[in-house]
């Protein structure tokens, strides 16, 4: 193992435990509804963190990707539909 890699691995306390915990974690950068449909199963936990709706914040250009109110409704409906029948969700949202 290269010296730089060895030093890096040894510099973060608990890194091996973190690596073990994240071995089965998959991060997707795709439209949420597509990911939900693709990975829907009883063993799946989805963490969804969409941009907060415009009417809940002052800066309407705070995110690199914004969502319309209609897109927020669609993702909410998809989460509700899938969480009742199979998988688990952790959804970050702003309720006003």
Q: What is the pLDDT of residue 95?
A: 56
What is the value of pTM for the model shown?
0.64
- pLDDT class of 34 with cuts at 50, 70, 90: very high
Q: Is the pLDDT of residue 73 over 80?
A: yes
Q: What is the pLDDT of residue 1?
A: 55
Angle between helical axes of 69-85 and 32-39 (0-180°, round to 10): 10
Q: What is the pLDDT of residue 94?
A: 60
Q: Which strand (E) or helix (H) includes residue 74?
A: helix 69-85
- pLDDT class of 52 with cuts at 50, 70, 90: confident
Q: d(Cα 19, Cα 38) in Å, to the nearest integer?
A: 25
């Amino acid at each position: 193992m290269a010296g730089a890699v060895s030093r890096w691995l040894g510099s973060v306390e608990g890194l091996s435990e973190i690596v073990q915990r994240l071995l089965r974690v998959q991060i997707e950068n795709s439209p949420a509804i597509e990911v939900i449909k693709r990975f829907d199963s009883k063993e799946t936990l989805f963490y969804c963190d969409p941009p907060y709706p415009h009417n809940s914040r002052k800066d309407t250009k705070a995110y690199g990707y914004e969502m319309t109110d209609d897109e927020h409704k669609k993702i909410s409906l998809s989460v509700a539909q899938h969480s009742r029948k199979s998988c688990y969700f952790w959804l970050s949202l702003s309720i006003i």
